[in-house]
Structure 1
Amino acid sequence: MRNSLCIALAATAFGAVALSSLPAHAERAVPLPKATLDLPAARRPQVAVLAGGCFWGMEAVFERVKGVRGVTAGYAGGGAADANYAAVSTERTRHAEAIRITYDPAQVSYATLLRVYFSIAHDPTQVGGQGPDRGPSYRSAIFAQSPEQARVARAYIAQLSQAHAFARPITTRIEQGRFFPAEADHQNFYDRNPGHPYIMRWDKPKVAGFRAGFPDLARTG
């Protein structure tokens, strides 16, 4: 079983840990330039699939972006037969925990979503996982839904690398693969479990960091 705090649900022993005993944690949006390349405007809703550690926090951040119509937690990069939490937790299925974002391109662009993704939704320089969650299922990966998305993603990674936006190299990979929705227990987990120790420790600071770093993009309320 993978070494992961994300796997701890509210009923586990970890859920009994006093919140006061958890270490202090803060998230700040990394100031990043706007992308020089973006997708052309489209009339219909579009889809982006992004992976960057535990999908609970990723989902929570992007649900609060103006123009995002819906976010689904799931698994990308592996097959259908083992696209489930128990199998993915073995770290042998090739899946990544990911989110599928449906967005209105008239309100928010694909490159803007990538800017949020690289700045605060996760750390694109980490290797072997994210934070406390270790293993390939927690890798940083963009599952481009079209050649155009792949081109924009590669261009933005190159732009950030050339600008030395991060102290360490960006490890994010551009990948292909189907997306499979996760179990119902993992959908909208942040909002349904606001007092969960993992949410308190890792994800609430991340959402706060998004709101502080991107006030013009954050939904009100």
Structure 2
Amino acid sequence: MLMSTESTTTRAPIAAGKQTEVAVLAAGCFWGVEEILRKIPGVIDTDVGYTGGWLENPTYHDTHDSKSGHAESIRVTFDPAILSFEILLEQWFFRLHDPTTLNRQGNDAGSQYRSAIFYTSPEQRHIAERVKQRVEKSGKWKKAITTEIAAASTWYSAEKNHQDYLQRNPGGYTCHWMRD
């Protein structure tokens, strides 16, 4: 998986030799997704950006106007000894947004707001498929899950003003909350 060189501030120090894992998720506007996921024990860093499209070096404007094919996404670096990919998906990802709405979350509509899991390894793909199937069978959602499961592609970090947006703008727009 290719990553841009721009990075964001690390939330917690990474001990020498410590293993980390990366999850790439899309669940609507990335501001609210980041605000929830950054608080989870085991999350080391979050970076909002764009992936899953065809346009190289997209901007927010390109993505927001559906010109790029990219989804607003979040790249989560986490400690798998504290937080497993499976738990991240089942207890957090599939609860913080409505995975049954195709290309939409709240008032935000368009393919850039799609629900997607961009796996970074064959193991992540299998876990994502298994968790999605479990969530579908649980009966929690009355409609079919529309979450796309696709291989991670080139990652483009969003502009600096979008990083940690709700931290810098308390009370700013979000349509994300933990659904029970």
How does the TM-score come out when normalised to structure 1? Answer: 0.69
**Larger strand percent:** 2
Letter of the 2:25 counterpart? L
1:86 to 30, 37, 61: 61
More helix by share: 1
Percent identity among equivalent residues?
Answer: 39
Are 1:60 and 2:28 matched, yes or no? Answer: no
- For residues 195 and 171 of structure 1, the distance between their equivalents in structure 2, rounded to whole angstroms, comes to 29
What RMSD over aligned residues (CA atoms) do the two structures have, in Å? 1.6
Query: What is the distance in 2 between the residues matched to 1:127 and 1:80?
Result: 22
Between the aligned partners of 1:89 and 1:152, the Cα distance in structure 2 is 30
SS at match of 2:19: coil
User: What corresponds to 2:9 in structure 1?
Assistant: none
Contact 1:82 1:93 in 2 (8 A): no
* Count of aligned pairs: 161
Deviation at 1:80, TM superposition (A): 5.5
* 1:135 paired residue among 104, 110, 120: 110
Superposed displacement of residue 195, structure 1: 3.4
Partners of 1:165 and 1:136 in 2: CA distance: 24
Alpha-carbon distance in 1 for matches of 2:165, 2:138:
35
**Structure 1 residue 148 corresponds to structure 2 residue 123:** yes
Q: Quick check: 83-92 or 100-109, which moved more?
A: 83-92
Output the CA distance in 2 between the equivalents of 1:104 and 1:88: 30
Q: What are the Cα deviations for residues 33-77 of structure 1, in whole angstroms up to 9, with x where unaligned?
A: xxxxxxxxxx61000000000000000010010000011000011
Deviations 1:98-146 (A, max 9, x none): 0000000011100111021001x21101122111100000000000011
Residue number among 140, 164, 171 corresponding to 1:195 in the alignment? 171
Contact 1:123-1:130 within 8 A present in 2 as well: yes
Give the alignment's TM-score, normalised by structure 2.
0.84
1:114 matched to 2:89? The reply is yes
Greater C-alpha radius of gyration: 1
Note if 1:99 corresponds to 2:54. Answer: no
